[in-house]
Amino acid sequence: MISAMELNITMFLLLGAAALTDLRYRKIPNWLILTGLIFGLVLSVMNSGTAGLVTSAFGFALGFVLLLPGYLLRFTGAGDLKLFATLGVYCGPVMLLQVFVASILIGACLVMIQALIRYQKSNGIVIWQRYRSMLQTLLTTGHCSYVPPEPGSLMSQRLPMAPIFAIGALVIFCLQLISN
């Protein structure tokens, strides 16, 4: 039998490696995700038997379903989707939902910080031109329009999600340790 601590250590090793590669290369390798998935399933079965396998399967499915809309809308990449589904194998559905909410909040804070940096660098002019154009179209035609950010601009860059998932998982893990 394997302890839950060993399962958590393996999860954080996976998240750490994924975060580093995502930050450096903006890509999460499939071999890393597949290795993490296999280890997660094996350790879950060793820890809790068939119940562990069922919990891991539900966690995987939930992780996939939660990130699928973001992937289809091109807000996240395929590696992010696969990593988050694999994270569900380690967390199970309940904790994964908590990690999802924490990750959304962390990501939103980072986007706001990014927007403030952009605002400060542009003296407040460039960042608002896009929004002014979208609002003007809405008010004059009654139709919503989207003006994408300029290619290469700070606002057009995607955030690497693996570090955000790692921080979200760490926050939830620590909160659970404190509450127990």
pLDDT digits (tens, 9 = 90+) for 137-146: 888 998 888 7
- Inter-residue contact 88 to 62 (CB < 8 Å): yes
In angstroms, the first-to-last Cα distance of the chain is 22
Query: Largest alpha-carbon pair distance within the chain?
Result: 66
Q: What is the pLDDT of residue 102?
A: 98
Two structure tokens written together for 115: 């927007």
What's the pLDDT band for 122 if we cut at 50, 70, 90?
low
Residue 1 pLDDT grade (very low, low, confident, very high; cuts 50, 70, 90)? low
Q: What percent of the chain has pLDDT over 90?
A: 66
- Evaluate if residue 152 carries a pLDDT over 90: no
Contacts of 15 (CB under 8 A, 6+ apart): 83, 87, 162, 165, 166, 169
CA distance 26 to 61: 24
Question: Could you tell me the pTM of the whole model?
Answer: 0.83
Query: In terms of residue numbers, what domain contains 96?
Result: 4-179
What gap in Å lies between CA 69 and CA 83, rounded to an integer? 15
pLDDT bin (cut points 50, 70, 90) of residue 74 is: confident
Mean pLDDT to the nearest integer, 82-90:
98
Please identify which residue in the block is written with the tokens 């569900």: 88
Give the pLDDT of residue 124: 57
Beta strands in the chain (DSSP E): none
Higher pLDDT, 176 or 123: 176
As a whole number of angstroms, the distance between CA 169 and CA 85 comes to: 13
pLDDT at residue 126 in the model: 60
Number of domains, the chain: 1
